[in-house]
A and B are shown apart, each in its own frame.
Chain A
Amino acid sequence: MIEVQNQMRILASDLIRQKRVDFIIGYEQGTLAHTSRPCIIDVRTSGPEVSEKLVWNSYCSNNLSVYLQKFFAPPVQGRKKDAAPPLRIGLIVKGCDLRSVLNLIREKQVPRENLILIGLPCTGMLDKKKMEINKDELDIEKNIQDSCLECRFSNVKGVDFEITGKTREVPGDLYEVVRLFEARTRKDRLAYFEKEISRCIRCNACRQACPSCYCRECFADQKDMKWLGSGTMSDTMIYHLIRIFHQAGRCAECDACFRACPEEIDLRTFTRKLAKDVEELFGFVTDFNRESIPPLSTFSSGDSDSFITEPEEGG
C-alpha cells in the first residue's frame, strides 16, 4: 500500500506541475486513530508539494465522488454567459468511487472531460466498528467492511491513470444478506425494519453521504407540499423507504450511508435488496460501463408482468 501511496503522490504532483487540474480530491490523515478522511486541495493556490498530504491506506473508506456534483451544478440563477470555464478535478478513485462517478456521468451531472480519474487498486477497507469488537487490528479479513466482502469491482477500469496492485478476489455469494433476510417471516422482517428505523434521529447523514443523493430539493425537505412530518415512526419509515428506493439501479454499493449513520442502523440489508432485484430482473449492475442506460430510465417490452393482479373471472 505504501508503494501505491508513493505512486499516487508522484502522479498528483505531476498533474499539479503540468497544471492539468484545479482541484485534487483525495484522502489525508485524520485526527483519530485508524482514520483517513477526505481532503479537497485547491491546487491553483498551492505547489506540487501538497501531494505529500495525500494518503492511501486501509481507512480510506469515504466515497469521494460525493463532492463532485457541486463543482458542476448550475447556479440557482442560471449560468451566466461569461462564467468561468468549468473546473478540472483530479479525483482519487477506488472501485466503488468510480462506479459512483460513472453514475453521475450517466445522469449528466458531471462532465467526464473535466475529470482526471486516478484509479487505485483496492484490497478492501477496514471497518472501525468491527475493529473495536474484534480488537485484533492485524487480521484484515476479519475486520473488513461488509460492502468490501461483496465487492466485485476492486479492479478499476477506464480511468485516466491507473496504479496497479493487489485487488480483491471476486466473492462467490454477492447477496447473502438479502437471501437470509428474504427467508425470514414477514412479521419478523417488519419487526426488524421497525427496530432499526426506530433508532433514526433524522440527521440526514445517510442522504448527505450518498453520491447519488444530489437533488437540489429533497422530497424530505419540501415545504410547499410537505410530504414528511416531524419524525413520527411512519414518517421516518417513509423517509428511509423512499431514500433507499431512489437508489434503485443507481446504488454503487459503497455503503457510504451505512457508514455515515451515527446510530449504526442496518441500512445495507435494505439497499442490497434493490441492487439484487435490479440485477436479477433487469440484468443491470452499476459497473464501469459508461454507456449503459440506468434501468429505470428505460424499459423492455419483455419485462415481467408477474407482479400484476389478474381478476379471477376476467372480463
Chain B
Amino acid sequence: MKTGILTKPEIQELFSSMITKNGEESRIFVPATIEGRVILEEFSPEREIFYDFANFLRPPKGIFFPQREVLCSFEQERAVEVPPAAGRIIIFGIRPCDARSFLFLDKIFSAGSSGFADPYYLGRRENSVIISLSCIEPSEGCFCTSLGGGPGDESGSDIVAFDLGDRLLFEAHSAKGENFIEENTTEFRQPDAADQNAKKESLQAAFNAISRISTDGLVEKLDDDFSDSFWEEITATCLGCGVCTYLCPTCHCFDITDEKDRDGTGTRVRTWDSCQYPLFTMHASGHNPRAEKKQRMRQRIMHKFSYTPRTTGDVFCVGCGRCVRKCPVNLDIREVIRKINGE
C-alpha cells in the first residue's frame, strides 16, 4: 500500500497545480464554506479547503448523477444527442460513508444489474479519483459502522486521507489511488510511527461516537413484515416530502421527461425522482399501486434493506444519517430498523 504525508498548505498547492496538468483538465471538488454552509465545491487556487466539518448536507452522488441532466435535444423530427461530459474528476474530502455509496451506484449504473451501462454516469465515474477524508467527529444520527462502513473505511475510495491536525496521511487503496500518489510522489513525505498512532487514535474516538443498529436477518424479517400494520404506525407522521430520498447518497431513482419549448425545440432531461411522491407510481389510467404513504415508505425501506441485498448483494444504506437529521418530523430510519428487529 502506498502512503504519503502532506501538510494542509501543500494540499492546496497540489490541487492548484492539478487543475491543468500535462494538457489535461481536471475538475476538483473540495470542501469549502459559502456563507457559513459547508458544501462540496469546485476547487480553484483562491478557494481555501475547509476541514472542520462533520459532513455535507448534500450527498456527492450529484457529481456523477446530477439532479437534472439533459440527455438529448430535439427540433421537430431531428434529435441531437448530448454526449456525456468528458474530463477527469477528482473528489477530495467526502466522508468514507459517501465514498462507499459510489460502490452501490456503480452497480446500478453499470451493465451488471440491468444489462445496460449508463454512459452518462460511467463516463464521469470511470475518469474519477475519490480521495475520502476520514471522519473525526461523527454527527448525531450517524450509523455507518452497522452497515459495514466506518470512520476510516476504504471501500469506494481510491485514497483515504486521515486528518492528523496540521497534516494529512494519505493511503492508496486502488490502482488509481496508487497512480495518484506515484504521479505526485515528489510532494509526499513518508509517514512515521507518530503519524500512524495519531491516525489510530482519531479513528477510535470517532468509532465510539457512532450509534449502532443491527441488520442481522433483516432481509427475512422484512419478508414477513410486508403486509404488517406496523408500516401504517411508523409512517403516521410522515409528511410525504422527498428530503430523505433526495439527500440519500444511494437513492438513484430518476425520471425522464421531454420538455418542449415554445418554438418547437425541446430537450429530453433526466431528473431525480423519489419513491416518496404519489406521482412516482401513478399510472396513466389514474390507478396508483402505491397511493398511500405507508406503501411508499415501505418501498423505501424494502428497496434498501431487502430488494438490493437480493439483486446486488448490498444493503443500499451507508449510514450517513442525513435522512435522520433532516427529516422534518424526525422519522428515524434507525428506529424503523430497530422496530423491524423487534427491539
Contact = CB atoms under 8 A, between A and B. Distances in A.
Q: In the complex they form, do A and B come into direct contact, defined as C-beta atoms under 8 angstroms apart?
A: yes
Interface of A: 30-33, 35, 37-40, 62, 66-67, 201-205, 207-209, 221, 223, 229-232, 256, 259-260, 262-264
A213 to B, nearest CB: 10
B237 A37 contact: yes
A40 to B, nearest CB: 4
6 contacts: A30-B330, A67-B236, A203-B274, A221-B277, A231-B271, A262-B57
A221 B288 CA distance: 15
Interface string B224-237: 00000000000011
Contacts of A31: 324, 330, 332, 334-335
Contacts of B269: 230
A73 to B, nearest CB: 12
A40 B237 contact: yes
Contact of B57 (A32, A256, A263): A263
B237 A203 contact: no
A27 B330 CA distance: 11
A256 B304 CA distance: 29
Given A32-B324, A203-B246, A67 B237 contact: yes
A131 B287 CA distance: 46
B67 interface: yes
Interface residues of B, number: 35
A33 B243 CA distance: 20
A207 B331 CA distance: 18
Contacts of A204: 241-242, 277
B330 A208 contact: no
Most A Cβ at <10 Å: residue of B241, B325, B334: B241
Given A62-B329, A231-B271, A205 B236 contact: no
Nearest to A23: B236
B19 interface: no
B37 to A, nearest CB: 8
A37 B330 contact: yes
Given A231-B68, A232-B68, A260-B328, 7 more contacts: A32-B141, A32-B325, A67-B236, A202-B242, A205-B241, A221-B277, A259-B328
A221 B239 contact: no
Contacts of A40: 236-237
Given A40-B236, A204-B241, A205-B239, A230 B257 contact: yes
A259 B325 CA distance: 12
A7 to B, nearest CB: 24
Interface in B209-260: 236-237, 239-243, 246-247, 255, 257, 259
Nearest to B291: A76
B326 interface: yes
Interface string B314-343: 000000000011101111101100000000
B279 interface: yes
Contacts of A262: 57, 243, 246-247, 326
A66 B37 CA distance: 30
B243 A203 contact: yes
Contact of B68 (A203, A230, A259): A230
B328 A231 contact: no
For the complex of A and B, list the 10 residue pairs with the smallest distance between their C-beta atoms, beginning with the closest: A205-B241, A260-B328, A37-B330, A208-B241, A208-B239, A203-B242, A30-B330, A31-B332, A230-B271, A40-B236
